[in-house]
Amino acid sequence: YLTVGCHQTGDVRYAYWGALSLGLGLTNQHTLVLYAAPLVVWSMASAPKVLLTRRALTSLVAAALAGLTPYLFLFWAAHYRPLGSWGDTSTISGFLTHFLRKEYGTFQLYSGSDKASAQLLEANLHYLTHLASDALYLGMVPLATGLFLALATLRWRHSPSVLILGAWVFYLVVFHTLSNLPIHTQKIFLGIHMRFWMQPHLVSFMLLGLGAPTTAASLGLWRPLP
């Protein structure tokens, strides 16, 4: 919403709120960076005169850092050593160990000796199977219709569809390339892996909603109001 608002109006305040939102989101789920990276690149490319100025860049960085401020709580909380705490985050070194997930390996989910590799195809097939189930199978028809409609707008270089579909594909490819949980060995590993499908589901069901009216109209189940 904020990205499209900035794109349509040229109002840099949308971008500032977007940077703040991304910072807050990253304090909750690091994989948001797989959406943030395409979003930032597309926004800068589509509105360079608005966003690529010294004042705008400084304000965007400040807004993003403000969004990350919940992490400051860890320095204070570490002094109380609560049960189940994630290491000693009272020091910069301890904080970075937690922030970068060094115990698991940065950009990885698993550190066991049986960690998997090269499961991009298998993991994406699992995702599509799970998506079909979540969409009650029949929902895959309007989802495919929505995908077709979105692809039809890609001839416009600055269409938001470029960002939405690009971020969707980028997330599925990069996350499933880096994820090293051995999902083929135990169901619990697949269950942990599935927790990270909420983000691509946002776009998947957005496409389903986009294609639903066209699909329903073609079946005679939908008639737009006059």
47, amino acid identity: A
pLDDT at 152: 87
How many alpha carbons lie under 13 Å from residue 73 in its C-beta half-sphere?
9
At residue 129, does pLDDT exceed 80?
A: yes
Residue-wise pLDDT tens digits, 90-123: 788 888 888 887 777 777 777 776 676 778 899 9
The DSSP code sequence of 130-145 is HHHHHTTTTTHHHHHH
Predicted confidence (pLDDT) per residue in 71-83, tens digit? 888 888 777 766 5
161 close to 3: Cβ distance less than 8 angstroms:
no
Map tokens 């049986």 to a residue: 114
H/E stretch holding 18: helix 12-28
Torsion of CA 18, 23, 108, 35, to 10 degrees: 0
Contact 109, 193 (CB under 8 A): yes
Question: pLDDT above 90 covers what percent of the chain?
Answer: 48
Residue 157: per-residue pLDDT: 63
Give residue for tokens 């909380």.
77
